[in-house]
Amino acid sequence: MRRAAKVDANQSPIVRGLQAVFGPEAVFDCSGVGRGFPDIMVGVRGHNILMEIKTDRGKLTDDQVYFHREWDGQVSVIRTLQEALDLIGRLTC
């Protein structure tokens, strides 16, 4: 049986905020994928943005460190809705 994904306390408000801005279909919850894959993927203006959500003191797991190091695409750690919005603004300009 597959173990339920651990979700940080700030994930739900960040996801709800992004859905309010970009629509529910633009935010995909990937937290159950495992193996270090980021928590969410946001599709905005033709860009797929991978985000690992961490609390203020949260740290990447070993699997997440490995994924971030080996992934040959964009992936970012965010801690607040504002950080997520700022990231999307920088990547989609």
pLDDT at 8: 86
Which pTM was predicted? 0.92
Taking Cα atoms as reference points, which of 90, 84, 61, 92 lies closest to residue 15? 84
pLDDT tens digits, 12-59: 999 999 999 999 999 999 999 999 999 999 999 999 999 999 999 999
Confidence label for 1 from pLDDT (cuts 50, 70 and 90): very low
How far is the CA of 6 from the CAs of 11, 32, 36, 61, in angstroms?
Answer: 10, 8, 12, 11
Confidence label for 3 from pLDDT (cuts 50, 70 and 90): low
One of 2.60.120.10, 3.40.1160.10, 3.40.1350.10, 3.40.50.2300 is the CATH number of 11-87, namely 3.40.1350.10
pLDDT at 4: 60
